[in-house]
Amino acid sequence: MCDTGRSGPEENVEDVDAGAVSCACMRCGDRAVRARTDARGANGSLCVESTTGFTARAMPSAPSPSITTSSASSSRDRRLPEPRRPARRPRPIRPAAQAGSDPLVWDLTNTHGSRFRTVFMRAPNTPFGLELSEFFDIARGDRAANPWDPGASALIFSVRDLDAVAGRLKARGAPVVTLGGAALTTPGGRAVLVRDPDGYLIEARQAPPAAVSQATAPGDVIETSIGITVASRERAREFYEKLLGFTIKGTRTASAAELRLHGLAGGTLTETAMSIPGTAVTVVLSEFAPPAGTTRPARRFDWRLQDVGSPQFQLEVSGLDALIDRTKNAGYRFLSVGAKPIQRAFGRFVFAIDPDAVLVEFVQPAASER
């Protein structure tokens, strides 16, 4: 079951590391791809952004990581194109029949009775891991998010050669969200928004020459950011800035071209960029006001972990009990049963829910794992 010598029902993860730093997955103990830093957040509790995750509809039996690295396809033929990277044979994903279950994970994720399997991946030049989960034997939603739906999220990849990436996406039949069906020029450079095989939003953006020349690893991806659509940036900032200590980098109003990038012919888009404490990772809060008469009006999500496309942060923290108390006192909900963290030999874990239903896992590793 496990490639690290552990055994037990909780071990349902695979590592398809593409040259990344690997260490033990703090939730289940298997090897996961994670970026780690010892810096603390402004409030003294948030130490590191370690992983961002997404739930997939189905996984192929032996995948190669794609430039999306966020959601797996339901068949090998539907995978998006591979980036250029040093060759490394990925470990095969275990068959669906071997997906396991774990009562502790059920309490953590409120998925009682389910079976699950998980894969960890990493994009080139990206300082955090990407976790992909698939659930069985439990009801799950599969509504694909529009960019303007509160609770929608996206991976934003700055790439070495956008034309080459866009050509491979087109050859694979990736649905294009951007109006006109092709990359367009925005104030931040040429970009296109597409969907992966599970409908998850992926933005590919031409990296500037300076960023390409400074990239430390080969591959198409030069940099990765995370986008979250919110109903109110002020409410989202209360959670990420005031509770968790994220640093605000700036706020801007998007151009008409950027609206078209996201599939809208009008309306407004206001973006606030933040950085995660102790990292260079950027998270962008996007608040849309679609034009009147939009054929697909904004619809909020109420994500469950098992829902296809559900976005999840995993944040390493210190002082977990105090953070749980502050989160409760601020009026935020928890996904984990009773807002109680589960205990492993290697750490403690609990899922909170941000104002737009994005699932945020707080992880306090055991002293031996720090």
Query: Which pLDDT score is estimated for 8?
Result: 33
Tokens at residue 236, please? 């989202």
The per-residue DSSP string of 100-165 comes to B--HHHHHHHT-TT-EEEEEEE--TT-SSEEEEEEEESS----PPPPTTSTT-EEEEEEES-HHHH
Query: Which pLDDT score is estimated for 280?
Result: 86
SS3 96: helix
DSSP-derived pairing of the beta strands 153-159 and 221-229: antiparallel
Query: Which pLDDT score is estimated for 93?
Result: 81
Per 3-state DSSP, the chain is made up of helix, strand and coil in percentages (nearest 5) of 15, 30, 50
Query: Which pLDDT score is estimated for 121?
Result: 87
Measured over the CA atoms of residue 30, residue 152, residue 147 and residue 199, the dihedral's sign is positive
Query: Which pLDDT score is estimated for 27?
Result: 53
Query: Which pLDDT score is estimated for 52?
Result: 67
Q: What are phi and psi of 298, to 5 degrees?
A: -60, 135
Nearby residues of 37 by Cβ (< 8 Å), 6 or more positions away: 47, 48, 278, 279
The per-residue DSSP string of 199-257 comes to S-EEEEEEPPHHHHHH-SS-SSEEEEEEEEE-S-HHHHHIIIIIIT-PEEEEEEEPPHH
Query: Which pLDDT score is estimated for 122?
Result: 85
Query: Which pLDDT score is estimated for 58?
Result: 64
Query: Which pLDDT score is estimated for 147?
Result: 98
Tokens at residue 348, please? 């403690």
Residue 122 · residue 21 · CB < 8 Å: no
SS3 337: helix
Question: Along the 370 residues of the chain, how does pLDDT read in single tens digits?
Answer: 222 223 233 334 444 433 332 233 445 543 332 333 333 333 434 433 345 676 666 654 322 222 222 232 232 223 333 333 433 445 678 899 999 999 999 999 999 999 999 988 889 999 888 888 999 999 999 999 999 999 999 999 999 999 999 999 999 999 999 999 999 999 999 999 999 988 999 999 999 999 999 999 999 999 999 999 999 999 999 999 999 999 999 999 999 999 999 999 999 999 999 999 888 899 999 999 999 888 889 999 999 999 999 999 899 998 999 999 999 999 999 999 999 999 999 899 999 999 999 999 999 999 876 6
Domains of the chain listed by start with CATH number: 13-142+304-369 (no CATH), 153-289 (3.10.180.10)
